Structure 1
Amino acid sequence: MTIALRRRLLAEFTGTALLVTAVVGSGIMATTLSPDDVGLQLLENSVATAFALGALILIFGPVSGAHLNPVVSVADWFLGRSAGTGLTGRDLAGYVAAQTLGAIGGSILANLMFDLAAVDFAAKDRAAGHLWLGEVVATTGLILLIFALARSGRAPVAPAAVGAYIGAAYWFTSSTSFANPAVTIGRAFTDTFAGISPASVPGFVAAQLVGLAVGICLLTALHPDAGTAADQVVAPTGERDPVLGHRP
């Protein structure tokens, strides 16, 4: 049974909004609780983000797959074309729009929760080659992880695995692992710990797209049949039959 596109788009919008709310909100809280320790701030921000991401995949995965990330959706569409799985072109356009709007809304929500201006464009400059390289690495690893899980039939562990990867990538990449064009755009709308200046957004998004391309190339080399599992990305979708108790 195919879940209606409007329901899947609502899930992608809401899930991405809550993800950015968690990223931005935990960053604001971290700077409030640990104003003089940047390392502790990053730890608090990364732990909250990792746990929130895992929980959001559990919530929205059964509806939309909980992509919450345009590069994941593009990879799902691209790899699934030959196998007749994954997103259609129409689905992809809707997913990317919902994710981007959700990310902006999530940043605004976090600002309002902490009594800040609803929109306050970030002043934090993140335009540098080593940061872009960090985004390529973070995005490549994310794509490899998600599709390797789906291809090997381990998609049910995606909430823990993806959350753990993003939490770890906060620390092992120079960019603190945005790895998500929608989240990058959303984070431009808050001048707080997690913010990125609008002028730095294009460089980050370009690096993420390079990471997407590298990830797809590696996947096709390592797992030529990865596209057959596109329907299981990030978490299995489809409704359970009310009588039989399983997905039709």
Structure 2
Amino acid sequence: MSPSRASLEKNPREVAEMFDGVARRYDLTNTVLSGGMDHLWRRAVARAVDASPGERVLDIAAGTGTSSEPYADRGVHVVPADFSLGMLQEGYRRRPDLPFTAADAMALPFADDSFDVVTMSFGLRNVADVDRALREFRRVVRPGGRLVVCEFSTPVVPVFSTVYSGYLMKALPRVARRVSSNPDSYVYLAESIQAWPDQRTLARRIRDAGWERVRWRNLTGGVVAVHHAVAAGD
């Protein structure tokens, strides 16, 4: 069953169950719904993370691990983590070499200063307490480490914004019915995108959670934004 609305008080169990239900065709559905732009967005995130062999990367809300593969293939130690067991199982079926880990973004099962980078793509808006999650990310990253968050955002061109909103609430659910294993979930996902704060507001919340040098880059006219920050040193 999908969450009934995209409020900021999301029930973690319901959200996890929703992602369990879409796991089987999740990657295909994302590619279709984004017109193939999801591949470009993932590449932009990988460039922003800029991980080197020997570094440790936590890829939270990794789903089936598609976002983690570029790091693993370059010899970076990456931990794909998610709170949806269905997503993790599907990812492990495809890439049993990756250390898929069940994890809640608000209470990560890792020690302080465990990672050089935390990255999260298209998952932060589904967290019940965003500020708590951002503080958890800061806790598990070493001083001087990085945060990269990719999330749907606010288009910067007014006309484009109107067209985009129409697509989210009308076309997206119809397309999802054709390709998704759980199309009703995409109504919730569309609502969650519309309810999400704009680039500047998210940057402020990241800064308030203890991160420094916060900046962002708009992709596809602001449909997506990649926020980058650095953990303060001791």
TM-score by length of 2: 0.28
- Give the structure with the higher percent helix: 1
Structure with the bigger RCO (C-alpha within 8 Å, sep 6+) is: 1
Q: Which has the higher strand share?
A: 2
